[in-house]
A = this chain, B = another copy of it.
Amino acid sequence: MESIWNPAVPHPLPDPLVELIAQRFRVLGEPMRIKLLDRLRDGEATVGELQTALGASQQNVSKHLGLLYSAGLVSRTKRGTSVVYAIDDPTVFDLCEQVCGGVRRRVSDLDALLQS
């Protein structure tokens, strides 16, 4: 577990970088946005498709997609009267997978405690 730290990552972290990191995590800290990204794993989709897929209002979906776009996580392309969104930063999936691992480990720990 003695991981070698990326030499390009300073220590202690300067405040602006801390802010950027926290901001990045905060973008992923909303269930709706996680669902949107999860849906986009199947490929690009329009706002309407995402709206019906998640059962949310058009304005809300558009709002969160705008945030994801501002964060550089998704791309936006006009096609006819629709707007097509797609994953632009696939590394978010690695993040989610790692988080899933942590969550699973924690849950199984709780399981073990409850069953002992």
From B12, B13, B99, give the contact of A95 (CB < 8 A): B99
On whether the beta carbons of A22 and B12 are closer than 8 Å, the reply is no
What's the nearest-Cβ distance from chain B to residue A68, in Å? Answer: 13
Which among A100, A101, A103 has the greatest number of chain B C-beta atoms within 10 A?
A100
Q: Which B residues touch A26, using CB under 8 A? A: 25-26, 29-30
* Size bracket of the A interface: 35 or more
On whether the beta carbons of A22 and B29 are closer than 8 Å, the reply is yes
Q: Which B residues touch A99, using CB under 8 A? A: 21, 24-25, 95
Q: Which B residues touch A19, using CB under 8 A? A: 31
* Smallest CB gap from A102: residue in B: B91
What's the nearest-Cβ distance from chain B to residue A97, in Å? Answer: 6
Q: A63 interface residue, CB < 8 Å from B?
A: no
Q: A15 interface residue, CB < 8 Å from B?
A: yes
